[in-house]
Structures are given as C-alpha cells and as structure tokens.
Amino acid sequence: MDNRSQIREFLTSRRARISPQQARLPSYGTRRVPGLRRSEVAQLAGVSVEYYSRLERGDLSGVSDHVLDALARALRLNDAERTHLEDLARAAGPGPRRRRRPAPNQVRPSVQRLLDAMTGAPAFVMNGRGDILATNALGRALYAPMIDAARGATPNHARFIFLDQRSHQFWGDWERAADDTVALLHAQAGRDPYDKDLTDLVGELSTRSDDFRARWARHDVRQHHLGAKPFHHPVVGDLHLTYESLDLAADGLVLVAYGTEPGSDSEDKLRLLASWASTPGRDRRPASHATDTTDPLGGVS
C-alpha cells in the first residue's frame, strides 16, 4: 500500500462529506467538488492552509498529537477513523520503514483448545485480512458455505463476499456485510501498509469486483468489536446472531464469538445447527457440494 496516497485519499474523502452548513461556516461561490474546501478545514483545525495542504498531499511525517486531535475534530472523525488517522501518521513517521511482525497463519494450540471449549457458541479466529484461521465445531457448521467456497484454501471473508454468488444468500444483509468487510480491510491497511498479502488481496479484488472497487474508493474504516448479524444458513434457515470480538494481543489476531437472544427462534435454530454438526456421518456442506470431503480447517465430513 502507498501510505501517501492512503493519507491523501482518506483526508480528501472525509472533507468531501462535510458541508459548510454542517461545519457552521458561510457558503459562498461555486464549489467544483462537494464538501469543505482545504482552506475551510485548515480554519477549523487552526492550522495554515499551506500546512494542511501538505498534510493532504500525503505527508503526515512529524505531525503532532495536537494537530491530529484538531484534524479529527475538524473532519468529525469517529473513533475508528481517528484510530486510522493515527495509524497512517505512525506509518509515515521518520526512520526506516519497518513491517509489523506478521500475524501467524495458524493459531496456538491453547487458542484452539479455548475455541473447542466453547461448545454452545459459533466461534472462529481471524487475522486483519479476514482469513479464518481456526474455528470450533459450531463455527465450522455456521460458516460451512464460506469454508466450502474456499475449496481447501484458507477461507477469507472478502473473497467469499465479492467473488462468490453464494454469499448473497448466506449473508442476511449482503450490502452491510460488504461495507463492513471493506472498512475492516482499510483499517488493516492503515495499521500495516507494508503487508504484501493484504496488498495482493486488495489488488485481486479490485481487478475482479466492481462492488469491491467502488467501496474501496470510499475509504471508510470501521471497528469490529460487537454487534449483530443476520445469516441465511442452508441447513437451518434465518439466524440473527450477536457477536463479540476479542483481541488476541499476543498474536495480532481476533477471536469472534456469536450468541443469540435467550428464548429466541435463533436460539432454537442454533441448537438445531449444533445437533446437525455433531451428527456422525452427516454431510457438513450443502448437497450440491457433497462430493468434496476435505475440510480446510481440519477434519473430514
């Protein structure tokens, strides 16, 4: 990833979404592009136009926390966007460009044991690129369509969403899932712009998917801590699940666990899914793919 272009496009996209009226500034003259002018952002942030122009050209090297605070206020950044701006500034800092220590491509045995102990909740571990590195039994059952689509490779959220039509049936709200996934990839690009695997993934998706390319150009970023997601599972039907994300700080990975509202229809369906997943000899995949018996996350059907 080009850090300077990320900075330039992120700052440009953030000021483009704020009108003078929203910023309580007088509006005058014809605006060639939507949003605030550079001079107006500079005014709101309390810096010179020349200095802000330098920042928006992609040069955040040496910028102080005070200026980052002022920019965040002027551009009305939320917490995820503010963190992203800090990450971009950190990557632009002085000194040799160093890649972060790459996250492992597999989980430690103790993490897998933790997953396996979570028998009543679908759970998985992923990295910042959205690769699913490990699951528990119920997680494999829930994500069977994505695991099946990977055909023995590491399942990846973005590849499934943008390159496999089955994702439109699996995700109850495909548009939101697509938006969230791209926003998470942008956040990861800010944290580690020198991640070659991420660069390759973004390049592949940009080439093959108009939907991805349009979303990537928006430069939205998002945090993924808690919330709710609708699914349409090929075995049990519609599920509405809550989720919590836990950082595995020692590994640079994230553990995601799903749950349901007590007494809900989704709770009953999750129990049914667990029963199906534990049935000896059952076929883990939808019928149309039953001939492929390998499981990329371990075990066989």
pLDDT at 19 over 50: yes
Average pLDDT rounded to a whole number, residues 108-137 = 95
Compute the distance between CA of residue 290 and CA of residue 105 in angstroms, rounded to an integer. Answer: 27
pLDDT confidence of residue 254: 95
Q: How many CA atoms lie within 13 A of 267 on its CB side?
A: 5
Compute the distance between CA of residue 46 and CA of residue 52 in angstroms, rounded to an integer. Answer: 10
- Core vs surface per residue 195-233: b (16+ CB within 10 A) or e: beebeebbeebeeebebbeebbeebbbbbbeeeebebeb
Average pLDDT rounded to a whole number, residues 75-91 = 92
Phi-psi region at 200: left, alpha or beta (left = phi > 0; alpha = psi -120 to 50): alpha
Pairing of strands 132-135, 123-126: antiparallel
Q: How many residues does the chain have?
A: 301
Domains, the chain, ordered by start: 3-91 (1.10.260.40), 109-289 (3.30.450.180)
Q: How many CA atoms lie within 13 A of 48 on its CB side?
A: 3
Whether the model clears a pTM of 0.95, i.e. scores above it, the answer is: no
124 or 28, which is more confident? 124
What's the pLDDT band for 295 if we cut at 50, 70, 90? very low
Is the Cβ–Cβ distance between 155 and 297 less than 8 Å? yes
| Cβ burial, residue 49 (10 Å; 0-12/13-18/19+) | middle
pLDDT at 288 over 60: no
What's the pLDDT band for 160 if we cut at 50, 70, 90? very high
Strand partners, 124: 135, 256
Average pLDDT rounded to a whole number, residues 99-112 = 79
Lateral strand order in the sheet of 237-248: 132-135, 123-126, 253-259, 237-248, 226-233
Distances in Å between the Cα of 10 and the Cα atoms of 2, 46, 93, 165, 184 are 12, 20, 17, 30, 14
What's the pLDDT band for 281 if we cut at 50, 70, 90? low
106 or 140, which is more confident? 140
Residue 283, both tokens: 């076929």
Report the SS3 class of residue 106: coil
> Average per-residue pLDDT in the chain?
87
pLDDT > 90 in the chain, percent? 69
Angle between helices 79-91 and 174-191 (to 10 degrees): 30
pLDDT confidence of residue 144: 94
Summarised one tens digit per residue, pLDDT across range 37-64 is 999 999 999 999 999 999 999 999 889 9
Compute the distance between CA of residue 57 and CA of residue 59 in angstroms, rounded to an integer. Answer: 6
Amino acid at site 157: H
What's the pLDDT band for 285 if we cut at 50, 70, 90? very low
The helix (run of H) or strand (run of E) holding residue 238 is: strand 237-248
